[in-house]
Chains A and B, each alone.
Chain A
Amino acid sequence: SQTIHQWPATLVQPVGSPLSLECTVEGTSNPNLYWYRQAAGRGLQLLFYSVGIGQISSEVPQNLSASRPQDRQFILSSKKLLLSDSGFYLCAWSGAGSYGYTFGSGTRLTVV
């Protein structure tokens, strides 16, 4: 069966520090991968999606970047965090063997 792993679950980082969030999928190949963000009290916003290794599409201009170094690995990064980067970050995958999207458990990022 397919599983998605996302870590860490919570993270507190100072303003100006770098960020790296990792997401991996098991049990499938060539998945579509997604990063979403949910700010406090707000809806889910699609940040990036990837349809293959090295292929990244950005939905909104921002302080973040994404990379897909391997087929089932998706990384969200920032060189310098801003206070406005705080939020709940969710990784998801779609593709063969899944109905719709399957989301990870999320990372709650607080920038202080």
Chain B
Amino acid sequence: DAKTTQPPSMDCAEGRAANLPCNHSTISGNEYVYWYRQIHSQGPQYIIHGLKNNETNEMASLIITEDRKSSTLILPHATLRDTAVYYCIVRSSGAGSYQLTFGKGTKLSVIP
């Protein structure tokens, strides 16, 4: 699976949009971009995933660049409960692709 690069930490004011970037310049054609988050002392939580089109769900939006070498997770109105470590993961959807490899992620702090 391709490697991802994320900033180690970010701050965001409560109520503002949080934009979390991720670089995945070696992504291949059959690899999806997944985002998870881990709130302190809890298991990681799936947020969203996409292949090449932008995606939106009730939690967030995922913007993937046209060349697919980077993406941005957008939390439109950050709340204090969104403080967590956010992981960007690139993973193949092919048979035998069982591993989900977590990097160090971005620690997002939402500030009142």
Contact = CB atoms under 8 A, between A and B. Distances in A.
Interface of A: 32, 34, 36, 43-44, 46, 49, 51, 57, 59, 88, 90, 92, 94, 99-106, 108
Interface residues on B, range: 10 to 19
A102 B99 contact: no
Contacts of B102: 36, 43-44
Contacts of B42: 105-106
Interface stretch (B13-21, B22-30, B44-52, B65-73): B44-52
Per DSSP, are chain B's interface residues mostly helix, strand or loop, or mixed? Answer: loop
B103 A100 contact: no
Contacts, number: 48
Given A46-B100, A100-B36, A105 B43 contact: yes
B30 to A, nearest CB: 16
Contact of A99 (B38, B49, B103, B105): B49
Contacts of A44: 38, 44, 102
Nearest to A49: B98
Contacts of A32: 98
B41 A100 contact: no
A92 B101 contact: no
Nearest to A42: B104
Given A43-B103, A99-B49, A100-B36, A90 B43 contact: yes
